[in-house]
Protein backbone atom coordinates (compact mmCIF):
# COMPACT_ATOMS: atom_id res chain seq x y z
CA UNK A 1 0.00 0.00 0.00
CA UNK A 2 1.54 3.26 -1.16
CA UNK A 3 0.26 6.82 -1.52
CA UNK A 4 0.32 7.59 -5.27
CA UNK A 5 -1.08 11.11 -5.24
CA UNK A 6 -3.58 13.41 -3.59
CA UNK A 7 -6.39 15.19 -5.40
CA UNK A 8 -7.03 18.68 -4.11
CA UNK A 9 -10.64 19.74 -4.62
CA UNK A 10 -11.47 23.43 -4.30
CA UNK A 11 -14.76 25.22 -4.84
CA UNK A 12 -16.94 28.03 -3.60
CA UNK A 13 -20.07 26.84 -1.85
CA UNK A 14 -22.96 29.19 -2.60
CA UNK A 15 -25.89 29.23 -0.18
CA UNK A 16 -28.86 29.49 -2.53
CA UNK A 17 -31.22 29.68 0.44
CA UNK A 18 -30.66 30.50 4.10
CA UNK A 19 -28.15 28.11 5.65
CA UNK A 20 -28.32 27.01 9.26
CA UNK A 21 -25.72 24.79 10.91
CA UNK A 22 -26.56 25.04 14.57
CA UNK A 23 -24.38 24.90 17.64
CA UNK A 24 -25.15 23.08 20.86
CA UNK A 25 -25.52 25.17 23.95
CA UNK A 26 -25.73 24.17 27.57
CA UNK A 27 -26.97 27.49 28.90
CA UNK A 28 -29.20 30.22 27.52
CA UNK A 29 -29.44 33.75 28.87
CA UNK A 30 -32.55 35.94 28.74
CA UNK A 31 -32.75 37.57 25.31
CA UNK A 32 -30.55 34.98 23.60
CA UNK A 33 -31.51 33.47 20.25
CA UNK A 34 -33.38 30.17 20.39
CA UNK A 35 -31.30 28.59 17.61
CA UNK A 36 -27.88 30.19 16.99
CA UNK A 37 -25.52 29.10 14.21
CA UNK A 38 -22.07 27.72 14.86
CA UNK A 39 -19.29 30.35 14.81
CA UNK A 40 -15.53 30.49 14.79
CA UNK A 41 -14.61 31.30 18.43
CA UNK A 42 -11.66 33.46 17.30
CA UNK A 43 -13.46 35.63 14.72
CA UNK A 44 -17.13 35.13 15.69
CA UNK A 45 -17.88 34.48 12.02
CA UNK A 46 -20.23 31.68 10.92
CA UNK A 47 -18.54 28.78 9.18
CA UNK A 48 -19.26 25.26 7.94
CA UNK A 49 -17.47 22.58 9.98
CA UNK A 50 -15.76 19.95 7.85
CA UNK A 51 -17.46 17.31 9.98
CA UNK A 52 -20.90 18.63 9.01
CA UNK A 53 -20.08 18.68 5.32
CA UNK A 54 -18.38 15.28 5.32
CA UNK A 55 -21.11 13.69 7.43
CA UNK A 56 -23.84 14.86 5.07
CA UNK A 57 -21.93 13.60 2.02
CA UNK A 58 -21.54 10.19 3.66
CA UNK A 59 -25.18 10.07 4.73
CA UNK A 60 -26.41 10.82 1.22
CA UNK A 61 -24.09 8.29 -0.41
CA UNK A 62 -25.16 5.58 2.04
CA UNK A 63 -28.82 6.22 1.34
CA UNK A 64 -28.21 6.22 -2.41
CA UNK A 65 -26.53 2.81 -2.15
CA UNK A 66 -29.19 1.47 0.23
CA UNK A 67 -29.11 -2.15 1.40
CA UNK A 68 -26.79 -2.95 4.28
CA UNK A 69 -25.84 0.68 4.88
CA UNK A 70 -29.33 1.34 6.14
CA UNK A 71 -30.66 -2.05 7.20
CA UNK A 72 -27.62 -3.17 9.18
CA UNK A 73 -26.64 0.12 10.78
CA UNK A 74 -26.60 -0.04 14.55
CA UNK A 75 -28.33 2.55 16.66
CA UNK A 76 -26.72 5.93 15.84
CA UNK A 77 -23.76 4.11 14.29
CA UNK A 78 -22.74 3.51 10.72
CA UNK A 79 -22.70 0.10 9.09
CA UNK A 80 -19.30 -1.58 9.51
CA UNK A 81 -18.79 -3.42 6.25
CA UNK A 82 -16.52 -6.50 6.37
CA UNK A 83 -15.47 -5.78 2.76
CA UNK A 84 -12.11 -3.93 2.57
CA UNK A 85 -13.21 -2.53 -0.80
CA UNK A 86 -16.45 -1.10 0.55
CA UNK A 87 -16.66 2.37 -1.10
CA UNK A 88 -18.17 4.22 1.85
CA UNK A 89 -15.68 2.84 4.37
CA UNK A 90 -12.70 3.49 2.07
CA UNK A 91 -13.75 7.03 1.18
CA UNK A 92 -15.09 8.26 4.52
CA UNK A 93 -13.27 6.03 6.99
CA UNK A 94 -14.49 3.58 9.59
CA UNK A 95 -13.39 2.90 13.15
CA UNK A 96 -12.90 -0.88 13.39
CA UNK A 97 -14.42 -3.03 16.08
CA UNK A 98 -11.91 -4.47 18.50
CA UNK A 99 -11.80 -7.99 17.11
CA UNK A 100 -9.31 -9.76 14.86
CA UNK A 101 -11.55 -9.88 11.75
CA UNK A 102 -12.42 -6.17 11.90
CA UNK A 103 -8.81 -5.21 12.50
CA UNK A 104 -7.69 -7.32 9.53
CA UNK A 105 -10.35 -5.67 7.32
CA UNK A 106 -9.18 -2.22 8.45
CA UNK A 107 -5.56 -3.14 7.70
CA UNK A 108 -6.47 -4.18 4.14
CA UNK A 109 -8.73 -1.14 3.63
CA UNK A 110 -6.10 1.39 4.69
CA UNK A 111 -6.57 5.02 5.75
CA UNK A 112 -9.53 7.32 5.14
CA UNK A 113 -9.34 8.66 1.58
CA UNK A 114 -11.44 11.85 1.79
CA UNK A 115 -10.43 14.78 4.04
CA UNK A 116 -12.83 17.72 4.31
CA UNK A 117 -11.60 21.06 5.70
CA UNK A 118 -13.69 23.57 7.60
CA UNK A 119 -15.22 26.08 5.16
CA UNK A 120 -14.95 29.80 5.92
CA UNK A 121 -16.59 32.83 4.34
CA UNK A 122 -14.94 34.26 1.26
CA UNK A 123 -13.58 37.76 1.73
CA UNK A 124 -16.06 39.40 -0.63
CA UNK A 125 -18.96 37.53 0.96
CA UNK A 126 -17.91 38.68 4.41
CA UNK A 127 -17.86 42.29 3.22
CA UNK A 128 -21.36 41.92 1.77
CA UNK A 129 -22.68 40.34 4.94
CA UNK A 130 -21.37 43.09 7.19
CA UNK A 131 -24.46 45.09 6.33
CA UNK A 132 -26.48 42.59 8.38
CA UNK A 133 -24.99 44.06 11.54
CA UNK A 134 -27.41 46.97 11.33
CA UNK A 135 -30.31 44.49 11.26
CA UNK A 136 -29.37 42.78 14.49
CA UNK A 137 -27.17 39.94 13.33
CA UNK A 138 -23.45 39.66 12.84
CA UNK A 139 -22.92 38.30 9.30
CA UNK A 140 -26.23 36.46 9.66
CA UNK A 141 -29.96 37.07 9.57
CA UNK A 142 -32.39 36.55 12.42
CA UNK A 143 -35.48 34.78 11.15
CA UNK A 144 -38.70 34.88 13.13
CA UNK A 145 -40.79 31.72 13.00
CA UNK A 146 -44.05 30.87 14.70
CA UNK A 147 -45.13 27.43 15.87
CA UNK A 148 -48.89 27.04 16.24
CA UNK A 149 -50.12 23.97 18.20
CA UNK A 150 -52.87 22.11 16.36
CA UNK A 151 -54.95 22.07 19.53
CA UNK A 152 -55.17 25.28 21.51
CA UNK A 153 -53.87 27.57 18.80
CA UNK A 154 -51.64 29.81 20.90
CA UNK A 155 -48.80 31.10 18.75
CA UNK A 156 -45.32 30.16 19.97
CA UNK A 157 -42.74 32.49 18.37
CA UNK A 158 -39.10 31.49 18.11
CA UNK A 159 -36.00 33.10 16.63
CA UNK A 160 -33.65 31.26 14.31
CA UNK A 161 -30.27 32.50 13.16
CA UNK A 162 -29.04 31.53 9.72
CA UNK A 163 -26.55 32.62 7.09
CA UNK A 164 -28.49 34.53 4.41
CA UNK A 165 -28.97 33.31 0.87
CA UNK A 166 -26.12 34.46 -1.35
CA UNK A 167 -23.36 33.83 1.21
CA UNK A 168 -20.29 32.02 -0.12
CA UNK A 169 -17.77 29.78 1.60
CA UNK A 170 -14.35 28.49 0.50
CA UNK A 171 -14.46 24.69 0.32
CA UNK A 172 -11.37 22.51 0.21
CA UNK A 173 -11.09 18.74 0.27
CA UNK A 174 -8.23 16.29 -0.25
CA UNK A 175 -8.60 12.78 -1.65
CA UNK A 176 -5.83 10.21 -1.22
CA UNK A 177 -5.22 7.79 -4.08
CA UNK A 178 -3.51 4.57 -3.11
CA UNK A 179 -4.55 2.31 -5.99
CA UNK A 180 -6.65 2.09 -9.15
CA UNK A 181 -9.80 1.43 -7.14
CA UNK A 182 -9.46 4.81 -5.42
CA UNK A 183 -9.31 6.47 -8.86
CA UNK A 184 -12.51 4.70 -9.83
CA UNK A 185 -14.25 5.55 -6.56
CA UNK A 186 -13.38 9.24 -6.86
CA UNK A 187 -15.26 9.60 -10.14
CA UNK A 188 -18.03 7.19 -9.20
CA UNK A 189 -18.82 8.07 -5.60
CA UNK A 190 -17.19 11.32 -4.43
CA UNK A 191 -18.59 13.37 -7.31
CA UNK A 192 -21.92 11.61 -6.92
CA UNK A 193 -22.10 12.57 -3.23
CA UNK A 194 -21.43 16.21 -4.11
CA UNK A 195 -24.21 16.10 -6.70
CA UNK A 196 -26.60 14.61 -4.15
CA UNK A 197 -25.76 17.40 -1.71
CA UNK A 198 -26.88 19.98 -4.25
CA UNK A 199 -30.13 18.10 -4.79
CA UNK A 200 -30.76 17.59 -1.06
CA UNK A 201 -29.30 20.26 1.19
CA UNK A 202 -26.94 21.08 4.04
CA UNK A 203 -27.66 21.95 7.66
CA UNK A 204 -31.00 22.10 9.43
CA UNK A 205 -34.58 22.76 8.35
CA UNK A 206 -34.04 21.62 4.76
CA UNK A 207 -37.67 20.59 4.44
CA UNK A 208 -38.63 24.19 5.25
CA UNK A 209 -36.52 25.71 2.50
CA UNK A 210 -33.16 26.10 4.23
CA UNK A 211 -29.81 24.71 3.10
CA UNK A 212 -29.91 24.62 -0.71
CA UNK A 213 -26.29 24.86 -1.85
CA UNK A 214 -24.45 25.01 -5.16
CA UNK A 215 -20.76 24.54 -5.94
CA UNK A 216 -18.92 27.06 -8.09
CA UNK A 217 -15.46 26.96 -9.66
CA UNK A 218 -13.42 29.61 -7.83
CA UNK A 219 -11.81 30.92 -11.04
CA UNK A 220 -14.87 31.18 -13.31
CA UNK A 221 -17.69 33.74 -13.36
CA UNK A 222 -20.67 32.42 -11.38
CA UNK A 223 -23.21 33.42 -14.05
CA UNK A 224 -21.44 31.18 -16.60
CA UNK A 225 -21.60 28.06 -14.43
CA UNK A 226 -25.32 27.56 -13.90
CA UNK A 227 -26.29 24.11 -15.17
CA UNK A 228 -22.76 22.85 -15.82
CA UNK A 229 -21.83 19.32 -14.62
CA UNK A 230 -20.32 19.38 -11.18
CA UNK A 231 -16.90 18.17 -12.35
CA UNK A 232 -16.68 21.36 -14.43
CA UNK A 233 -17.52 23.48 -11.38
CA UNK A 234 -14.71 22.15 -9.20
CA UNK A 235 -11.01 22.99 -9.33
CA UNK A 236 -9.31 19.58 -9.11
CA UNK A 237 -5.51 19.51 -9.01
CA UNK A 238 -3.05 16.71 -8.32
CA UNK A 239 -0.29 16.78 -5.79
Q: pLDDT tens across 30-41, in order? A: 556 667 889 999
Q: Does some domain include residue 181? A: yes
Chain centroid, CA 29 distance in Å:
29
Residue at 93 is within a domain: no
Instruction: Give the integer Cα–Cα distance in Å for 24 and 114.
Output: 26
**Residues 160-183: what's their mean pLDDT?**
95
Tell me whether residue 127 is in a domain. yes
Q: What pLDDT is recorded for position 194?
A: 98
- What is the rounded CA–CA span in Å between residue 13 and residue 204? 16
Give the pLDDT score at 69. Answer: 83
- pTM of the entire structure? 0.89
Q: How many structural domains comprise the chain?
A: 1
Residue 136 has pLDDT above 70, yes or no: no
Count of residues in the chain: 239
**Structural domain that includes position 15:** 5-48+112-238
- The mean predicted confidence, pLDDT, of the chain is 89
Map 192-234 to HEC letters: HHHHHHHHCCCCCCHHHCCCCEEEECCCCCHHHCCCCCHHHCC
Pick the range with the lowest mean pLDDT from 109-118, 123-132, 226-235: 123-132
CA distances from 215 to 10, 68, 94, 194, 203 (A): 9, 30, 27, 9, 15
29 pLDDT higher than 70? no
Is the pLDDT at 140 greater than 90? The verdict is: no
Within-domain flag for 96: no
Q: Determine, yes or no, domain membership for 134.
A: yes
Name the residue among 166, 140, 168 with its Cα closest to residue 22: 140
Does 101 map to a domain? no
At residue 45, the pLDDT reads 93
Label residue 25 by pLDDT band (50, 70, 90). Answer: low
User: Would residue 84 count as lying in a domain?
Assistant: no
Confidence at residue 222, expressed as pLDDT on a 0 to 100 scale: 92
In a domain, 70, yes or no: no
Amino acid sequence: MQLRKIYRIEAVLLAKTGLRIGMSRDQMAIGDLDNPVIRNPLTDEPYIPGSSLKGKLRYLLEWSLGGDYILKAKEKHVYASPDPNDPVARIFGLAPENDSQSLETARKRGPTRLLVRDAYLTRDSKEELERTIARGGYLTEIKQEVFIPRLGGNANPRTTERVPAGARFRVEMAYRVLDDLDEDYFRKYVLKALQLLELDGLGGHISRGYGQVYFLHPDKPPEAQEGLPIQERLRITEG
